Amino acid sequence: MRWPASFRYLTRLNVPITETERSRVEATLGALRALLAILTLFSFLMTPPEPVRYAPVVHFLLATWVLHSLAVFAWVANRPVRAVFLYCLHAADIIWPTLITAFSHGPSSPFMSIYSFALISAGFRWGFPETVITSVAGGVILEVEAFLLRGTALGQFEGSRLLIRCAYLVALGFLIGTLGENEKERRSESALMSRLLRSIRTERGLNAVFHTVFSEFIALFNASHVFLVSYNLASDRLYLWQMTAQAGRDSRPYSKEIVADDCMKYLLPDYPEAFFSKRISPDALKTLTLGPKTRFRVMNGGFPELPFLPEKTESLLAITALLGDEWRLRLFLVNAKVGNHALQELTFARYLFEQTATAVYGVYLMHRLRARAGAIERARVARQLHDGSIQSLISAEMRAHILRRRAQKEYPAIAPEIESLENLLRGEVLELRELMQQLKPVEVAPDQLLDHLAEQVDRFRRDSGIAARFVSAMDEVHLSAHACREILLIVQEALVNIRKHARAKDVLVTFGRYDGSWHLCVSDNGVGFGFEGTLAGTELMRSPKGPAIIKERVANLGGEIFIESKLHRGSQLLIKLPQKGCVSHGQS
């Protein structure tokens, strides 16, 4: 039997039993069944019950049950078992006590306690609903036996005793089922925790790790959306990770850095660290919190005012976790569902989130360490290029220049070849300088972005000999450090492409804020992009035309890119970025 997935906690944990575990359980139950059958037969031989004329029948049934139990034990101890076999075996565990009690005073039989083994086996194999169904079935069988045996020699029993024994079976079924269900839930919780922690590995990357974590929470609580707010106390920066579970929508987690005057409001500091709220009317919520008073309370009002919550929010589960003195996290599960044991599920959700957050933080620190080590190594290579190869090439270029001037006077025929060599050396120097700039770690604060852009454009003018200007009417830039770094790299890549491919004589770079978004424009009077017209949006992203690296960086920032190309008359690259923060697939 299966409980609805939205109610039965054990089903939502989604930890299937392994063949090894099933065989171990059946071997234990097989040994217990054989022992019970042998002791029951021994007890019968010592003191056979009345009526005496049915004693041979009971003796035969008990002896057959012993043989059956030994055969089952030998079978399950050496072979894997299947679900169909288990259902047949469970039915046999109910049929045997029914037959034995039918020939030994029916409901008043001393062998009625054998029914308890079927309850124990149901609790061990499945859980609460199956055990309760077995106990009710046992009670029904006792009632049927009483009806069929009434007025016969086997039907001498008291009605009150029959009701007590039926109630005993049902109560025992509830007890065994509850204990079995709780034990399976604890084991499934541990297995889920282990499975989730094993999947959090450094080599997978943060995007894949968050996808796994969010998917587990969505499946466990049948949520429609999951949001993770992470606040860095040291840098005062706020990030929002989100993922949806709706069919037909992008199921990848993506992040957004939020620029807000009050970052703490996204963490709900006035709310409990863990709570579950469900709407019961348009202006009232039923809320459960972890604390001294762990019961549902009806509260007037609505859900917390968070800009990212969907309009159709019927329930909300929120959990907080702290990572040292640096990070504070708040997880939101929208339209989450919990079962009858809501307190138990909320407690486990909090524990699961704290453990996974710690593991994810370890992955984050490892990525930061690798990035820092890579930046240090790139800076070392850039210094070696500057002090070694670039200086040598500059020296060779100067010697070639001297030789060319001398050749123009003494050997005019070879002067063009030397000039070609000089230009080749100059081009290689420019290539290495650009490579050196790309290798250097880029750390740009928002208040330094305009100065860095102006310096970059001016350096391009000096190195390439192409007239280049940077124009911006902005005094302050309110963007994240990640967005500033990406903008600087986009401009760097655009200028490199212009020098290599555009054959332009004049370049203009502008940056400003228009119509609620940031605009970055790079225009030149070169040969264009090889097509006539304008490309933008999805058409440009899917097209092989245009700079691939720049398109990827713009997509990671959640921006839009427009390219206007005029053959042999120049081109214009326009990038629009959201005014607050940035959206990034797989970036932190």
SS (HEC) of 53-83: HHHHHHHHHHHHHHHHHHHHHHHHCCCCCCH
Q: Which residues contact 330 (CB under 8 A, 6 or more apart)?
A: 228, 229, 266, 267, 268, 318, 319, 320, 321
* pLDDT confidence band for 228 (50 / 70 / 90): very high
Question: Among residues of the chain, what percentage have pLDDT more than 90?
Answer: 18
Q: Is the pLDDT higher at 191 or at 17?
A: 191
Cα 134 from Cα 124, distance rounded (Å): 13
More confident residue, 146 or 540: 540
- Fold observed for domain 215-354: Beta-Lactamase (3.30.450)
Query: Taking 90 as the threshold, does the pLDDT of residue 168 lie above it?
Result: no
Range in 33-42, 258-267, 456-465 the model is least confident about: 258-267
pLDDT averaged over the chain?
A: 82
% of residues, the chain, pLDDT over 70? 89
Of 60 and 429, the one with more pLDDT: 60
pLDDT band at 50 (very low <50, low <70, confident <90, very high): low
Q: Is residue 410 predicted with pLDDT exceeding 60?
A: yes
Cα gap 39→27, rounded to integer Å: 18
CB atoms within 10 A of CB 358: 15
* pLDDT confidence tier of residue 133, bands split at 50, 70 and 90: very high
Mind listing the pLDDT tens digit for each residue in 77-131?
888 888 888 899 999 999 998 888 877 766 667 788 888 899 999 988 888 889 9
Q: What is the pLDDT of residue 258?
A: 76
Spatial distance between the Cα atoms of 74 and 89, rounded to a whole number of angstroms: 14
Residue 252 has pLDDT above 90, yes or no: no
Residue pair 227/353 in contact by the 8 Å Cβ criterion? no
Amino acid at 534: T
Q: In degrees to the nearest 10, what's the CA dihedral of 83, 85, 88, 92?
A: -120
Asked whether residue 270 carries a pLDDT value surpassing 80, the answer given is yes
Tell me which residue of 312, 248, 240, 315 sits closest to 275, measured CA to CA: 315
Region 65-76: mean pLDDT is 92
The mean per-residue pLDDT over the stretch 332-356 comes to 89
| CA distances to 17, 258, 261, 331 from 264, in Å | 43, 12, 9, 14
At residue 373, the pLDDT reads 81
Q: Which stretch of DSSP H or E encloses residue 544?
A: none
Write the secondary structure of 212-270 as one string of H (helix), E (strand) and C (coil).
HHHHHHHHHHCCCEEEEEEEECCCCEEEEEEEECCCCCCCCCEEEEECCCCHHHHHCCC
pLDDT tens digits, 364-401: 888 778 877 877 777 787 777 777 787 888 788 888 88
**Rounded Cα gap, residues 494 and 237, in angstroms:** 29
Q: With 0-12 CB in 10 A as exposed, 13-18 as middle and 19+ as buried, what is 159? A: exposed
Could you tell me which residues are beta bridge partners of residue 276?
A: 288, 317
Give me the pLDDT at residue 139, please.
82
Q: Determine the pLDDT at residue 5.
A: 40
pLDDT one-digit tens code per residue, 466-511: 999 999 988 888 787 778 888 988 998 899 889 888 888 999 999 9
For residues 229 and 332, the answer to whether their CB atoms sit within 8 Å is: yes
Closest CA to 575 of 511, 483, 527: 511
Using alpha carbons, select from 226, 224, 181, 13 the residue that is nearest to residue 5. 13
pLDDT of residue 522: 93
Instruction: Tell whether the model's pLDDT for residue 144 goes beyond 60.
Output: yes
Q: Is 302 left (phi over 0), alpha (psi -120 to 50) or beta?
A: beta
Boundaries of every domain in the chain: 9-197, 215-354, 444-588
Asked whether residue 436 carries a pLDDT value surpassing 90, the answer given is no
Beta bridge partners of 186: none
The length of the chain in residues reads 588
- Higher local confidence (pLDDT), 219 or 4: 219
* Tokens 């049927």 belong to residue: 144
The H-assigned helical ranges of 47-158 are 55-76, 83-102, 115-125, 128-149
In the structure, what pLDDT confidence band is assigned to residue 583 with cuts at 50, 70 and 90?
very low
Note the pLDDT of residue 150. 62
Positive or negative, the Cα torsion across 369, 371, 372, 374?
positive
Q: Name residues whose C-beta falls within 8 Å of residue 377's C-beta, 6 or more positions apart in sequence.
A: none
Per-residue pLDDT at 235 exceeds 70: yes
Q: Is 584 a residue whose pLDDT tops 60?
A: no
Name, in order, each residue with C-beta under 8 angstroms of 209's C-beta and a sequence gap of 6 or more: 199, 200, 201, 360, 363
Q: Are 289 and 271 in contact (CB under 8 A)?
A: no
Instruction: Please tell me the predicted confidence (pLDDT) of residue 468.
Output: 93
Say if strands 254-258 and 274-281 run parallel, antiparallel, or are unpaired: unpaired
The CA distance from 348 to 25, in Å, is: 26
Whole-angstrom distance, CA of residue 495 vs CA of residue 457: 8
Confirm if 480 and 488 have CB atoms less than 8 A apart.
Answer: no
Q: Is the pLDDT of residue 188 over 70?
A: yes
232: β partners: 237, 327
Question: Buried b vs exposed e over 28-57: b needs ≥16 C-beta within 10 Å?
Answer: ebbebbbebbeebbeebeeeebeeeebeee
Are 247 and 257 contacting, i.e. CB atoms less than 8 angstroms apart? Answer: no
Question: Is domain 444-588 classified as CATH 3.30.565.10?
Answer: yes
The pLDDT assigned to 582 comes to 45
Q: What is the pLDDT of residue 448?
A: 86
- Checking if the pLDDT of 208 tops 50, the result is yes
Indicate if the alpha-carbon torsion angle 466, 471, 475, 479 is positive or negative: negative
Identify which of 24-33, 248-257, 318-327, 430-439 has the greatest average pLDDT.
24-33
The residue behind tokens 């770690």 is 441
Looking at residue 66, its pLDDT comes to 93
Angle at 516 between CA 510 and CA 517, to 5 degrees: 45
CA angle 491, 256, 495 (to 5 degrees): 5
User: What pLDDT is recorded for position 141?
Assistant: 81
pLDDT tier at 33 (50, 70, 90 boundaries)?
Answer: very high
**Residue 302 — very low, low, confident or very high, per pLDDT cuts 50/70/90?**
confident
pLDDT of residue 588 exceeding 50, the answer is: no
> Residue 581: is its pLDDT beyond 90?
no
> 54-63, 72-81, 375-384: which has the minimum mean pLDDT?
375-384
Confidence of residue 6 (pLDDT cuts 50, 70, 90): very low
